[in-house]
Structure 1
């Protein structure tokens, strides 16, 4: 629980209009708008989107329920992120930010005009209340993410200070600036921990206009939004209405898009992209398709093994299973050669460990020598490769050798352990479309004497199973930003391994990983951030926690021709809130 105090400011540092993780801000104090927006974009019209599954809550901050898409439109944070910088934030609810030179504390001065949607002013009390509420009743994720906050001090009605337990977490002053601020007067007498479809009070550019529970949610742009002319918002939030319709699967959703039921679609299936975007509306230009290159790290997607299960406790067994996934055949026959193989947890970025460690990296790794596989120091990790013919006998023989070294034997075509128990597990899926990727993998496992079954569940059940770590293997992705930090604790640290709702789905309990996560979070500059990310990457790679999949370094999007977007796209996001509808 945070301690709420009142005092006077003693800062000698100068207030600023923004804050950067490393280096200088791109935009000066007098900037008028971000470079990737059209400041004269017309307001009006609607943007209709689609989501898969269902929803039963408007509260995205708790572990219970399934929150509706788009609830972030209801809230503002103290600072807003620039999408063309690795990690820089500029004033939104806060008109200025003051950072202690040693990063022991950060102060925010709120805009006197800042208002919630019910007209009540946003105050420092609301900021302090938000953090206390999230830590006490919010998702367990928040307790880990904000663990470095010592206390929040309300200095005055408009000024709030965050004091930190140490100065090693250089990201923390920026993280607190990104938290959506909740109204104390609204939530103090309500049960925050229970899912609800009651429309909450927020301070963001939209409010909820209409809900059809589980099927549709419509957001209405607020005419009285206090911050619409701030530099961080100019050229953004142009649609009068944002509507999200829910579909039972992506195949139905694609057909609905082509029929004009919604306006914008981001495609993640290479098969659908290659074969599904055809027909009259594409030929006559009513639907536009684009591939937009970006500079976002792609992270790691793969078959995720739950190491809490004895079956996946051994790194050698986990390594053996990587030989059963034939990426080259899959890419050629299922994906139209659209993808690149993923080898790194920081793929498509300078933080990927794709060459031998430098002397500077070895210095970072030296304290964990003896706790990590020796290959970390001497080899470059590459996921197993085949010739794409589908005849991967050599890879399967290598897998069987590793399994035999781990005590497994092949008896009458079935792989069994020393107790005669068969190697059998379940692959949990939420997207039926992924069966076509999983089925060839299962056939290769069968050749090893392993029995794997597919289990498909609905979205709500899937979320609950993951929250409780109740699965053997899943398909999952660990996304990465251009400035990784605190979220790495939730991904890999031992403290999150047994905390329900955390993203440490693998169940990693590894002191070496813990050490490198803390080193990364404490990186003093960009150069060290990159080096420490690579060191962490190597240790994760060589522990064989996942069976790596693939990635692409472009957004594949399709939209109806009445939508337009700025000529300049941001480097690190699609920037959908900068789009507009033609009058």
Structure 2
């Protein structure tokens, strides 16, 4: 999708395909009794056009004739103790455990922000988005063979309102004022008058659907850790479970949606097997031995030095670099702003100056990464240079909350570092910042405040493979005079402590999107500063006001300007030290997988629209490639 470049009115017309555009975009218009225009369509895009018309036969990036069969096997690190994906606060759910459930509408990987009916046939809503109606398919069944109806949709919605994570509950209750099953295959959601207009329809389109009968029969709760799963409508269902070691998902032989156009050429495996390993090193050794067959590599050390083993030499394993147009996660060293000692920006900037990306990338990561600058590392949404135009106008509305530098200096970039592990110029700058924060160096080299207390910092981590990256940073912080401890704990401890926000610093991330709406408040808003989606506990009056421009945006350009303004503010406030991103997909797999030539911009799809060449698989098995 290209950003809208016309008026807000035109953007709304394009989004729904109203009068005069219905033939092109497959939408119709109706008239409500109040004479407001009602849009009816097979899909929805918040700000732009739909790529696929109502009569499309398959997505452009799939092979509609892909063979179906075989097994794809991958790895996961750590462990799992339940199969309920919603019990994130009371356990460790199995990988991909939400895949058995489907959403009312689903997105594509060659567009930004489009959603198409999956469990519905059409949706309708007025221009002001005061409500939305989904007309459901009448042939959808759960994996236990029972039909899905509007009553399941409403029951699921009630479960989410009552038992989902606190931030989700608060958001959905604020958004949805009323809901009802009009009949067995029609549901209506009415939105609160004071809820932001943008994001209303897409929020409800993304709701999953679970079986009312199962929950009523079992008495299960949505937020409890359990191995038993409720039936879903998805193509795959849970197969075998070996807690903490292995789990499989198997194709539902009676899957209702195999021939639905948006599913054609997708879901091409009979089973998906996930092997669990204590750490990534053990997983890599298992891949080399053929214990699992598809690997997404995330270690520059492995990618640069370790792909010399018999399966490579024998031609059994393919190693490839594929394009990745997705928005990289905003990764980095996260400061816990809930800690009083980290609330001074001078302290955070000083600690950040001690990370040397240039040396780390050159000496430890083989020059394979790029340094992240923005929370939205994409030209559509990334702040650059001095603020101007609509972005500047938005910033002016919150000038009282912002420092002058936001308006007079370019968007904050990561600091530059030299070729040595310890950049002495950055060390000097860091000492100046620490002095401004009230810390001076003692005779023992440790920084102390006016009370004589040292700056005690714990860096929390769980992956042994990160030691080589983190340890040089820890050593630099020690040279600065920080009394820092590098504490690597087991995965279960790490999950428990991060869920409870019990850390000073850690390597973490924020997941942002090329289209932002109500979810931006959950990630960065003050009401949700203790939520798992906001690891830093970030809270800002400026953000609170700027977020209103995002949720109220009438077109993509307005939304983009608001995101750039927010990006500029958050980069200045420096609650995460930006580290690196790849911008590519490193993949290695046994030479039996094939994929369409025209992979989409925003997806890799190896668990979705790739497939297995059975002749190649048989030949590898005969040669002894697998264990």
Determine if the TM-score, normalized by the shorter chain, exceeds 0.5.
Answer: yes
Deviations 1:440-462 (A, max 9, x none): 11111111111211111222222
User: Aligned runs of 1:470-485 on 2, under 5 Å?
Assistant: 470-485=502-517
Residue in 1 that maps onto 2:15? none
Instruction: Compute the displacement of 1:328 (Å).
Output: 0.5
Instruction: Compute the displacement of 1:317 (Å).
Output: 1.1
Residue in 2 that maps onto 1:243? 273
Residue in 1 that maps onto 2:191? 164
Instruction: Compute the displacement of 1:122 (Å).
Output: 1.1
Deviations 1:260-290 (A, max 9, x none): 1111111111111111222232233311112
Q: 1:539 aligns with which of 547, 550, 569?
A: 569
Residue in 2 that maps onto 1:39? 64
Tell me the TM-score normalised to structure 2 length: 0.89
Structure 1 unpaired stretches of 5+: 1-8
Q: 1:405 aligns with which of 436, 449, 454?
A: 436
- Rounded Cα–Cα distance in structure 2 between residues aligned with 1:463 and 1:371: 35
Residue in 2 that maps onto 1:271? 301
Q: How many residues align?
A: 573
1:558 aligns to 2:588 (yes or no): yes
User: Aligned runs of 1:312-461 on 2, under 5 Å?
Assistant: 312-380=342-410, 381-412=412-443, 413-461=445-493
What is the RMSD of the two structures over their aligned residues, measured on CA atoms? Answer: 1.5
- Rounded Cα–Cα distance in structure 1 between residues aligned with 2:385 and 2:219: 54
Residue in 2 that maps onto 1:84? 110
Residue in 2 that maps onto 1:4? none
- Rounded Cα–Cα distance in structure 1 between residues aligned with 2:353 and 2:549: 32
Q: 1:18 aligns with which of 43, 49, 55?
A: 43
Residue in 2 that maps onto 1:6? none
Residue in 1 that maps onto 2:79? 54
Residue in 2 that maps onto 1:107? 133
- Rounded Cα–Cα distance in structure 1 between residues aligned with 2:65 and 2:578: 44
Instruction: Compute the displacement of 1:228 (Å).
Output: 0.9
Instruction: Compute the displacement of 1:14 (Å).
Output: 4.2
Mapped contact 1:44–1:238 kept (Cα < 8 A) = yes
Instruction: Compute the displacement of 1:12 (Å).
Output: 6.2
- Rounded Cα–Cα distance in structure 1 between residues aligned with 2:171 and 2:584: 29
Which is worse superposed, 136-145 or 226-235?
136-145
- Rounded Cα–Cα distance in structure 1 between residues aligned with 2:494 and 2:332: 17
User: Aligned runs of 1:145-156 on 2, under 5 Å?
Assistant: 145-146=171-172, 147-156=174-183
Mapped contact 1:74–1:202 kept (Cα < 8 A) = yes
Mapped contact 1:348–1:553 kept (Cα < 8 A) = no
Instruction: Compute the displacement of 1:420 (Å).
Output: 0.6
Mapped contact 2:380–2:514 kept (Cα < 8 A) = no
Deviations 1:398-425 (A, max 9, x none): 0000110111111111101111110111
Mapped contact 2:163–2:169 kept (Cα < 8 A) = no
Mapped contact 1:216–1:246 kept (Cα < 8 A) = yes
Deviations 1:309-336 (A, max 9, x none): 1110111111111111011010100011
- Rounded Cα–Cα distance in structure 2 between residues aligned with 1:279 and 1:167: 57
Residue in 2 that maps onto 1:185? 213
Mapped contact 1:51–1:245 kept (Cα < 8 A) = yes
Residue in 2 that maps onto 1:292? 322
- Rounded Cα–Cα distance in structure 2 between residues aligned with 1:145 and 1:50: 34
- Rounded Cα–Cα distance in structure 2 between residues aligned with 1:214 and 1:486: 35
Instruction: Compute the displacement of 1:299 (Å).
Output: 3.5
User: Aligned runs of 1:296-311 on 2, under 5 Å?
Assistant: 296-311=326-341
Instruction: Compute the displacement of 1:229 (Å).
Output: 0.6
Instruction: Compute the displacement of 1:127 (Å).
Output: 1.0
- Rounded Cα–Cα distance in structure 1 between residues aligned with 2:197 and 2:414: 32
Residue in 2 that maps onto 1:511? 541
- Rounded Cα–Cα distance in structure 1 between residues aligned with 2:195 and 2:523: 22
Tell me the TM-score normalised to structure 1 length: 0.96
Mapped contact 2:39–2:126 kept (Cα < 8 A) = no
Note closer, same or farther for the CA distance 1:353–1:12 as it changes in structure 2 (3 Å cut). Answer: closer
Deviations 1:2-26 (A, max 9, x none): xxxxxxx979624211111211100
- Rounded Cα–Cα distance in structure 1 between residues aligned with 2:612 and 2:130: 45
- Rounded Cα–Cα distance in structure 2 between residues aligned with 1:399 and 1:149: 48
Please identify runs of 4+ aligned residues in structure 1 that moved more than 6 A: 9-12
Residue in 2 that maps onto 1:579? 610
Mapped contact 1:265–1:559 kept (Cα < 8 A) = yes
Deviations 1:552-577 (A, max 9, x none): 11111111111111111121111121
Residue in 1 that maps onto 2:156? 130
- Rounded Cα–Cα distance in structure 1 between residues aligned with 2:512 and 2:79: 26
Structure 2 unpaired stretches of 5+: 1-31, 615-627
Residue in 1 that maps onto 2:597? 567
Instruction: Compute the displacement of 1:388 (Å).
Output: 2.0
Residue in 1 that maps onto 2:22? none
- Rounded Cα–Cα distance in structure 1 between residues aligned with 2:498 and 2:170: 18
Deviations 1:376-402 (A, max 9, x none): 112121111012233411111000001
Mapped contact 2:66–2:268 kept (Cα < 8 A) = yes
Mapped contact 1:141–1:502 kept (Cα < 8 A) = no
- Rounded Cα–Cα distance in structure 1 between residues aligned with 2:162 and 2:215: 13
Deviations 1:336-360 (A, max 9, x none): 1111111111113421112221121
Instruction: Compute the displacement of 1:485 (Å).
Output: 2.2
Residue in 1 that maps onto 2:14? none
Mapped contact 1:79–1:92 kept (Cα < 8 A) = yes
Residue in 1 that maps onto 2:312? 282
Instruction: Compute the displacement of 1:167 (Å).
Output: 5.9
Deviations 1:47-92 (A, max 9, x none): 1110001111111113211111122321111111111101111111
Which is worse superposed, 289-298 or 111-120?
289-298
- Rounded Cα–Cα distance in structure 2 between residues aligned with 1:315 and 1:59: 39
SS at structure 1 position matched to 2:521: helix
Instruction: Compute the displacement of 1:144 (Å).
Output: 4.2
